[in-house]
Amino acid sequence: MTGWVTDVHPTREELDACVHCGLCLPHCPTFRLTGNEAASPRGRITAMRAVNDGVLSVDEDFEEMLGFCLGCRACEAVCPGLVPYGRLFEGARAEIAAQRPTLVSSLRRRVLGRVLPTRRLVETGSGVVRILQKMRRLLPGAVGARLDGLRDLSDNPPSSLGRVAEPEGKPVATVGLLAGCVMDSWFGAVHHASIDLLRRAGYRVIVPRGQTCCGALAAHDGAAADAKRLAEVNRSAFAGVDIVVADAAGCSAHLADYRHWVDGGIDAETKDITVVIAEAIADGRLPTLEGDDPVVYQDPCHLRHAQRVTEEPRTIVRASGHRVTEIDPDGICCGAAGIYSVLRPRAAGELGTRKADQVRATGLTTVVSANPGCEMQLRTHLGDSYRVIHPVELYRERLLAESV
């Protein structure tokens, strides 16, 4: 008799992929912080198996174990047994949501599953944030610090939703760009750079109006019904495009896993923007610029671990006339992890500090990262004197400077 109640629970087959060899342990940020099996991927999988076998149940401790997990999926990338940890994690979180709902967690899931995907509400919220940013000096420390990672929203360019950009010649393919939940309102410049580079690389780009939030944050937090619904909306919205591209690592990783939420996944290739642009550079559709200025590149977990994309963003950085400086051979999570930094400030803070120290040790002040969460976490921990930027922005900036 299993202890599961939902239809997305971790399955016996998925759990059986783990022979508990323990090779994942040192790659797990929370195991590194605590040295505790219960804070390790193997421990979490063993716990899921205990629930699956009816030995233990989804209780307070199970909730804590899974709540402490960042969902960075570093364990998945190093697992020779091919355990689908990301899927198991989302399944277990959905069980917690179903079996142990609290007022706060239900409200939180409602925000992630309903509010974030509602454009009007995000815009209203962004308006409030914009005002708070102007009043930054007047705010108490803890509230103010939350804002420090953000870009200045008053600089945010107009929404990209509904845009269609045509290349100069015959299109290589049609790309549908995911506008995302907060990307458009908070990181709009990344979209603008992406669209421009895609167009220059020969793609026809559309940003369909009918699309919505990818649902990654909802899925990570166990809002399974919302995650399914959002995946279905996007599947319809992107029907007919050749490639669906996201320029936030967390979103592109989630798109790649849509088959977990809708049968067959999305009817097109899904790719992170860094992969598409790196391909175009390799094909000579985009130029490789001269230069050797050193910058730091930080691997977002959802590129490096979830999608095993490591070379492509570096290719873009190099093609933009920069030299890549490495900071962390293991790619340990920076602690942002979606909304983790808000829910678990202590662990997130420790990881953020470690990452910031690694950056500071290089003596460089520009950090390139391809995910909004990482960007905010890095900016929070590094402060104003550092520049944190998406690789496509860095590349386009140089491209424009060269062509002047």
Partner 1 sequence: MTLFDELVAVTDPERVTDRPFDLHLHSADAGLRTGEATVVVFAETTEEVCDVVRLAARHGVPLVARGAGTGLAAGAVPTEGGIVLTLTRMNTISDIDPVNRTAWVGPGVINLDLSRATAPFDLHFAPDPSSQQACTIGGNIANNSGGPHCLSEGSTVNHILAIEMVMADGEVVILGGAAPDPIGLDLRGVVVGSEGTLGIVIRALVKLTPDPPEVRTMLCAFPTVEGAAAAVSGIIAAGVVPAALEMMDQGMLVAVENWLHAGFPTESAAALIAEVHCAPEAADAEVDVIREVAEQEGATEVRVARDEAERALIWKGRKSAFGAIAQTAPNYYLHDTVVPRTRLVETISEMYRIADDADLTMMNVFHAGDGNLHPLIAFDATEPGMADKVHAAADEMVAACVARGGVLSGEHGIGAEKRDLMGTVFTELDLDAQARLKHVFDPDRVLNPRKILPAGSRCFDYGGSPLPEGTWI
- Minimum distance, C-beta of residue 3 to partner 1, in the bound complex (Å): 12
Would you put residue 59 in left (φ > 0), alpha (ψ -120 to 50) or beta?
beta
Nearest Cα to Cα of residue 360 among 294, 296, 293: 296
- Tokens coding 371: 């995910």
- Minimum distance, C-beta of residue 64 to partner 1, in the bound complex (Å): 9
Residue 381 near residue 259, CB atoms below 8 Å: no
- Minimum distance, C-beta of residue 330 to partner 1, in the bound complex (Å): 10
User: How far is 358 from 52, CA to CA, in rounded Å?
Assistant: 40
Euclidean distance between the first and the last CA atom of the chain, given in angstroms as a whole number: 69
Helix axis angle for 311-319 and 391-403, nearest 10°, is 20
Choice between 79 and 246, CB closer to partner 1? 79
Choice between 81 and 240, CB closer to partner 1? 81
Choice between 27 and 220, CB closer to partner 1? 27
Phi, psi of 297 (to 5 degrees): -110, 130
Would you put residue 308 in left (φ > 0), alpha (ψ -120 to 50) or beta?
left
- Minimum distance, C-beta of residue 36 to partner 1, in the bound complex (Å): 7
User: How far is 51 from 10, CA to CA, in rounded Å?
Assistant: 10
Query: Which helix H or strand E contains 240, and what residues bound it?
Result: none
Choice between 83 and 317, CB closer to partner 1? 83
Choice between 32 and 390, CB closer to partner 1? 32
- Minimum distance, C-beta of residue 316 to partner 1, in the bound complex (Å): 21
- Tokens coding 16: 């059986």
- Minimum distance, C-beta of residue 253 to partner 1, in the bound complex (Å): 19
Choice between 21 and 164, CB closer to partner 1? 21
User: How far is 5 from 14, CA to CA, in rounded Å?
Assistant: 17
- Minimum distance, C-beta of residue 213 to partner 1, in the bound complex (Å): 33
User: How far is 113 from 230, CA to CA, in rounded Å?
Assistant: 8
Binding site for partner 1 (CB under 8 A): 16-27, 34-38, 42-43, 46-47, 50, 55-56, 59, 61-62, 65, 78-83
Choice between 264 and 329, CB closer to partner 1? 329
- Minimum distance, C-beta of residue 2 to partner 1, in the bound complex (Å): 14
Decide the pairing of beta strands 293-297 and 322-325: parallel
- Minimum distance, C-beta of residue 102 to partner 1, in the bound complex (Å): 19
What's the angle, vertex CA 84, arms to CA 48 and CA 41, rounded to 5? 50
Choice between 27 and 396, CB closer to partner 1? 27
Positive/negative CA dihedral, 359, 360, 361, 364: positive
User: How far is 65 from 187, CA to CA, in rounded Å?
Assistant: 32
Choice between 29 and 373, CB closer to partner 1? 29
Quote the DSSP letter at residue 115: I
